[in-house]
Every structure is written in C-alpha cells, then in structure tokens.
Amino acid sequence: MGILLWIAMGLFAGVLAKWMMPGSDPGGIVATMLIGIGGAIVGGMIATAIGFGSVTGFDVRSLVIATGGAVALLYGYRVYAPRLWATGRDF
C-alpha cells in the first residue's frame, strides 16, 4: 500500500473512530490521521494474531480493522492520559 493510500485510509479510519467515540480528543486533522494510521497498524497486528487477516489494501475489511485499531487507541488515550496529567509527568 502506498504512502498516500495509508494517509487516506488513516484519515478515514481516524474520522470514523472519533465519530464512534465522541468526546474531547487532541488535535485536528493531522492528529486524526495519525490516530487512524496507528490504528491500522495496531488493528492489523491484532487481526493477524487472531487469524482475521491484515491490512493489505483499501477495502472494507481493512477499513474495519483500521477503525477498530483507532478506537482501541482512542480508548487507551482516554484511560491513560488523565492519569499521566494527574501525576504531573511530562510526556
């Protein structure tokens, strides 16, 4: 998959993940795109590990995997970021 397709899929998966989990999340379009790309990587690793497949191209299955990974990243951010800020640690 080319870099432009990763960016497009990342943006689309990030937008879907933020739409599925509304709330106050960081960043604009770039952060949304990075969440989606990271979600595609995380979702691809998890899907491959359980035998569902991997992110190989821009199709519905890959979009579902990427969106699921992006939702998992957003959930992890919402759980762990407040704890880090409460302790006063720097990133």
Containing domain of residue 76, as a range?
3-87
CA distances, 28 to each of 6, 32, 39, 59 (Å): 18, 6, 16, 25
Taking only the tens place, the pLDDT of each residue in 38-51 is: 888 888 888 888 88
Of the pLDDT bands very low, low, confident and very high (cuts 50, 70, 90), residue 33 is confident
Total structural domains in the chain?
1
Q: Name which residue leads in pLDDT, 30 or 1.
A: 30
Is the pLDDT score of 58 beyond 80? no
Amino acid 90: pLDDT: 57
Is the pLDDT score of 1 beyond 60? no
Amino acid 56: pLDDT: 66
Q: How far apart are CA 40 and CA 50, in angstroms?
A: 15
